[in-house]
Amino acid sequence: MKRLAAAALACTAALTVSAAQGDTTLDYDVLYVGKKSGAQTVVLGDGGRVRVSFSYRDNGRGPDIEEDFTLLQDGTFGRYRQTGRTTFGAVLDERFTISGRRASWQSPSERGQQALTGPAIYLPSQGSPETNAVIVRATQKAGGRLAALPGSELRSERLASARVGPAGSEREVALYAIFGTGLQPDYVWLETAGDMPLFASINIGGSRVMRAGFADAGDELERLQRDAESGWLAGIAKSATQALPQPILIRNVRIFDTRARSLGEPADVYVNEGRIAAIYPASSPARDPATVIDGAGRALLPGLFDMHSHEDAWNAALQIAGGVTTSRDLGNYNDDLARLRADIAAGRAVGPHIEPAGYIEGESPFASRGGFVVASVAEAEQAVDWYAERGYRQVKLYNSIKPEWAGPIAAYAHARGLRVSGHVPAFSRSERVVREGYDELQHINQMVLNFVSDQDTDSRTILRFNLVGDRAKDLDLDSPQVKDFIQLLAERQTVIDATMATFEASYTQKPGDMNPSLAMVVDHLPFATQRSLRGNSTDVSGGKLETYRASWQRMMQLFGRLYAAGVPLVAGTDHIAGFMLHRELELYVAAGVPPGEAVRIATENGARYAGVLADRGTIERGKRADLILVDGDPTRNISDIRNVSYVLKDGGGYAPAELYEAFGIRRFVDPPAISR
């Protein structure tokens, strides 16, 4: 949901003057949970020239960006040059120039030119954090908005102000939101004095880029930013949630039959107090329903389950628009997730039911800073207890857990009644952790590493992606090693959360081509989002693309083997909410899963392995009325799953068409007729 990680981190600096050069240098700290993980330096020279160096590491990865650009009098880019590497190692080589009244640009994913008819600001496709500061200053100077190059518009709005810093060094700062860079706003804090240098950029609940020496101001700024964002989200929730007097009659629908994996005969469904009250044949006499929804022969499905998310409030709203009424969060900041769940429950935000998995990571230079980061098995057991006492049903272990810890942690979690899933710890393998107690594995690449890694493979880095791309093509799926592993998974009923769509573009997309996972919906998305989908942040240069594409096909074949062997599957995104779950199901079908079975995986299987099947996941009397109306028949054509016309959750109604339009997304289908 964020614009690229590098662009989502806007930054500022302490000002120091280099007398020898006459330049002004701005120094930035990149912080994850208070731990310094990188830095940025911005050098302001004469004539509007700016040079930027930006680098950080989190979860074993991060960008290295060098920029050199010149700003015009109106604050827009007159010249821009960028080099370096993306978070996943792809080469950055982007250029923009204005000559006379013509602008030209090129990067690994695009090139073009355009005649200028008025002021406009270029939007770097993968700009450094300093990009957001440039955008705010330029748009504010122009009255709040500017035409964007290569297209659309950028807008900024001032939201809040504060005075922060130690006595004698206080700074007056203001919060701005930037619209038009992606599916949600970007936020930056600028100083109000002078040339408005950027003071901080805060990713709520996560990373912070702070002016050097002002880290202590982060908590207060995050609180103010959260309050401002919450106001917007509450407005969306108020306008998007339809209060439906009950009982509700959903007339003339074809109900998804979980056992038959198909749609049944036309029926009428009654909902009362958020529960399925009755199911009758279509056109049965109605007994004074307070609300009637005309199903008009549409499919009625249980709400979908996204079994691999890392939720925030914007992502959560997109989940509902995509028909997802339950989301399993597999790694987050515990306080922020609790706050989001409370906001959704209270109607202050739109979102699904969130079933949390407790995140446990080992301490290392490559550690991902979420949940609990532990330095021993004893600390991990304390984390398990914390999650168990708060009703969590599962814990997820991550890359930096030491191999010898996995078995004891899994045994302890099982003794507390929790399931165990996760990444395979570095220097271990999938087969080992399954035998040691993992109930579930995340990601298809983690499975493939079982066969292509060795004892020295450090999967805490991007090697866990690149090694699979390099070697999976040679994997013999008929080898005893592969067959025995699949049999082990089937015998133990180890669940696989493959997140296939997360990897599709990484291994198959040629820079400049459209992201294959979203190509079928891209014309519905805002221009800036469409443009970002033409870049592949994985390095596929030097002949790698054909190798990676062959490896991707082998991964798809392996997934098909898992299904055929009876290994339990769940569907998750780990990416853009809704859209990527729909694509995940399409990929399952392409790998050999029948469409009706794919729907069952995304509903009943999700409920079973989230631990809530008694409450939801199938359409039965007495179960929670988390339901979606779909135009078409996804049990025959899985792509129809995108055509969600209406969503019911806990008795409230949502029209995806209206939610999408709040994000600047063109609707897919119209909502049904509703009478109250």
**What is each CA distance from 54 to 34, 62, 462, 508, 641, in whole angstroms?**
18, 10, 19, 28, 41
pLDDT at 10 exceeding the cut of 70: no
Distance (Å, whole) CA 120 – CA 390 = 51
Residue corresponding to tokens 């594409």: 549
The pLDDT tens digits for 190-218 are 999 999 998 999 988 788 999 999 999 99
Mean pLDDT of the chain: 93
Residue 10 contacts residue 196 (beta carbons within 8 Å): no
* Structure confidence at residue 1 (pLDDT): 35
Q: Partners of 155 in the beta sheet?
A: 145, 179
What is the C-alpha R_g of the chain? Answer: 25
Q: Please list, residue by residue across 72-93, b when 16 or more beta carbons sit within 10 angstroms of its beta carbon and e when fewer do.
A: eeebbbbbbebebbbbbbbebe
* Structure confidence at residue 285 (pLDDT): 93
Which ranges of 291-372 would DSSP assign to H, the alpha helix?
313-321, 334-345
Tokens linked to 255: 């109900």
The pLDDT tens digits for 158-170 are 999 999 998 888 9
Tokens linked to 145: 């908005």
Q: Partners of 35 in the beta sheet?
A: 32
Distance (Å, whole) CA 437 – CA 151 = 52
The pLDDT tens digits for 322-357 are 999 999 999 999 999 999 999 999 999 999 999 999
Q: 637: which residues sit within 8 A by CB, 6+ positions away?
A: 595
* Structure confidence at residue 228 (pLDDT): 93
The string of DSSP letters for 432-476 reads: HHHHTT-SEEE-HHHHHHHHH--TT--TTSTHHHHHHHHHGGG--
Label residue 294 by pLDDT band (50, 70, 90).
Answer: very high
The answer to whether the bond into 634 is cis (omega within 30° of 0) is no
Q: Could you give the 3-state DSSP secondary structure of residue 524?
A: helix
Residue 539 contacts residue 547 (beta carbons within 8 Å): no
pLDDT at 476 exceeding the cut of 70: yes
**What is each CA distance from 215 to 161, 208, 530, 593, in whole angstroms?**
17, 9, 35, 51
The pLDDT tens digits for 36-74 are 999 989 999 999 999 999 999 988 889 999 999 999 999
Distance (Å, whole) CA 533 – CA 512 = 9
Kindly state the helix (H) or strand (E) to which residue 263 belongs, with its residue range: strand 262-272
Q: 394: which residues sit within 8 A by CB, 6+ positions away?
A: 328, 357, 358, 418, 419, 420, 421, 439, 440, 611
Q: Partners of 327 in the beta sheet?
A: 306, 354
Percent above pLDDT 90 for the chain: 89
Q: 287: which residues sit within 8 A by CB, 6+ positions away?
A: none
pLDDT at 156 exceeding the cut of 90: yes
Label residue 127 by pLDDT band (50, 70, 90).
Answer: confident
| Residue 319: closest CA among 285, 291, 339, 349 | 349
| Residue 600: closest CA among 260, 121, 362 | 260
The pLDDT tens digits for 224-275 are 999 999 988 999 999 999 999 999 999 999 999 999 999 999 999 999 999 9
* Structure confidence at residue 33 (pLDDT): 81
* Structure confidence at residue 21 (pLDDT): 54
**What is each CA distance from 85 to 82, 89, 324, 457, in whole angstroms?**
10, 5, 35, 22
